[in-house]
Amino acid sequence: MSTSRKFIDELFVVIDSEKSAHVEIADAEIYSRLEANYSGFRGCELISCHSFEKDWDSWENHPHGDEVVLLLEGNVTFLLQLDHGQTSIVLEKMGSYGIVPKNTWHTAKVHSPSKVLFITPGEGTMLKNI
């Protein structure tokens, strides 16, 4: 893909199982395309950026690895459901980050309009509505 400027909220990066980087357009078809083009996302990582204005309406879980969340702007709290109860990762300063452990259900509470960079092990990601 040839483009003079690349923005992580418009063009995601997929690190495949061979550790090669691929640029993908962040459009409405991104996740179905990733599933089809990267063998169910087996062994891949997705580097993506998302903006949020309200709390998530679902929980998610990544059974094949830890997820890194990095705050670019705003104020977000990630709620994590652990075996011994719930804990949180508070991101309130640009550049603060947290690690969501492998196989941990998590959601986000958005305290102000926010932008978060994610490094996600996408294989087998599960979602459930709140």
CATH code assigned at 66: 2.60.120.10
Confidence band of 4 (pLDDT split at 50, 70, 90): low
In a domain, 108, yes or no: yes
User: Is residue 46 one of the residues assigned to a domain?
Assistant: yes
pLDDT in tens, 34-53: 889 998 889 999 999 999 99
Number of domains in the chain: 1
| 37, 122 Cβ separation under 8 angstroms | no
Segments forming the whole domain that contains residue 46: 11-129
Instruction: Tell me if 101 is assigned to some domain.
Output: yes
Q: Is the pTM of this model over 0.95?
A: no
1 in a domain, yes or no? Answer: no
Overall residue count recorded for the chain in this entry: 130
Residue 2 domain-assigned?
no
Whether residue 87 lies inside any domain: the answer is yes
| 52: in domain | yes
DSSP element (H, E) containing 32: helix 30-37
Asked whether residue 96 is domain-assigned, the answer is: yes
